[in-house]
Amino acid sequence: MKYLCQVWFDGAILDAMTREEKAELDSNSLNYDRDLVESGHMIVAQALQRPTSAVTVRVQAGETSVTDGPFAETKEALGGFILIEAKDLNDAIRVASGIPLAKLGAIEVRPIHEFAAK
């Protein structure tokens, strides 16, 4: 099964880190990604730019509206994601618990819905 591991954390935590701490976090994250590739769990992983770079798109009554920034004001924001292959939810949770940013925020693990081919 495929699972999306959404990485949620407070950007202020990163802002408060020293350059060395950020470099260590980046290194640990890239090393963990390599471990996931080697174990066969990794499908794709990406870090996201800050929430201030986002736009929110809505289509209502045929009209498209675009607003700057994220939809919700919250301290924690989606900072990245890892799409993995895991044998079951317990395996996906084990993988998610190893993500270095789990120590600074939260990892939401959600199964991917597979649509049946027509």
Domain boundaries, the chain: 2-111
- pTM for this predicted structure: 0.88
What pLDDT is stored for residue 56 in this prediction? Answer: 86
Secondary structure of residue 29 in the 3-state scheme: helix
Q: How many CB atoms lie within 10 A of CB 50?
A: 13
What pLDDT is stored for residue 24 in this prediction? Answer: 97
Place of tokens 């935590």: 13
CATH architecture of 2-111: 2-Layer Sandwich (3.30)
Mean pLDDT by 10-residue block, N- to C-terminus, for the chain (118 residues)?
96 94 97 97 95 90 89 81 97 97 95 87
